[in-house]
Amino acid sequence: MAQSVLTIGVATRPFIGETANGDVAQVDWSEDRCRITVIDALGHGVEAAGDAARAASALHEHPDLSPSDALSLCDRQLRGRRGAAIGVATIDVAKRWLCFGGIGNVEGRLYRDGRPERLISYRGIVGVAMRTVRTFEYSLESAWTLVLHTDGVSARFEDGAALNDHVSVNETAQLILHGWGRERDDATVVVVRSSAANPSIGSNL
């Protein structure tokens, strides 16, 4: 089963003092492909949470869409609303590659053999001002870890926090969230590793 070779951890919390979270991490499978979407709706509170949920629900109905098509779907769903920053990563387990597309300040960092590489997102707001989407492909032949996060988490988090494979992906996501999360924003971290020896998909929400 394709799911058995990935471990996925999620840590998320709303803007301090709020109960509604405008960040959503969505995981959808289509055969051997896992699509991971991080949505950061503009603002915070109930309205932002509603926009994020609207985009996530539409994506759930179409798990086979590529990152570019997923972003286009979200763009249609969020028109007339405040919009969102969205990053979409599709991992093809059988072919061992990653395809990423992002609009706005959802950030991604891919570690291959311990070396970090920033994934490219383009300026814009999904639903408001989105250009033509460009996506990028990366080989996953070697050992790898993927971290995706909203701008509620500082991009200056330490690489060592992501690369400690003695700690579960859930614990790693929580460590990054608590160590580098900003209190004045919704914040979400997703950590993904290839791990056929330790098959699990979990989340800490």
pLDDT in tens, 97-127: 999 999 999 999 999 988 999 999 999 999 9
Cβ proximity of 59 and 118 under 8 Å: no
Q: Is the pLDDT of residue 1 over 60?
A: no
Domain tally, the chain: 1
In whole angstroms, give the CA distance from residue 64 to residue 74: 14
CATH number at residue 20: 3.60.40.10
205 pLDDT higher than 50: no
In the numeric block, the tokens 């969102």 are attached to 84
- Identify the helix (H) or strand (E) that includes residue 191: strand 187-194
Q: What is the C-alpha to C-alpha distance for residues 182 and 152, in angstroms, rounded to an integer?
A: 5
Amino acid identity, residue 90? T
pLDDT range class, residue 198, cuts 50, 70, 90: very low
- The reported pLDDT for the residue numbered 4 is 63
pLDDT of 2 reads: 58
Assess contact for 62 and 191: CB atoms under 8 A.
Answer: no
140 within 8 A of 90, measured Cβ to Cβ: no
pLDDT over 90 (residue 156): yes
| Residues 154/176, Cβ–Cβ less than 8 Å | no
Query: CA-CA distances (angstroms) from residue 170 to 27, 95, 131, 165?
Result: 15, 25, 34, 11
pLDDT mean over 70-94: 97
Q: State residue 85's pLDDT score.
A: 98
Between residues 20 and 166, the one the model is more confident about: 20
Find the domain containing 169 and state its range. Answer: 2-201
β-bridge pairing 200-201 and 6-13 = parallel
**pLDDT over 90 (residue 5):** no
Contact 72, 135 (CB under 8 A): no
Q: In the predicted model, is pLDDT for residue 81 greater than 80?
A: yes
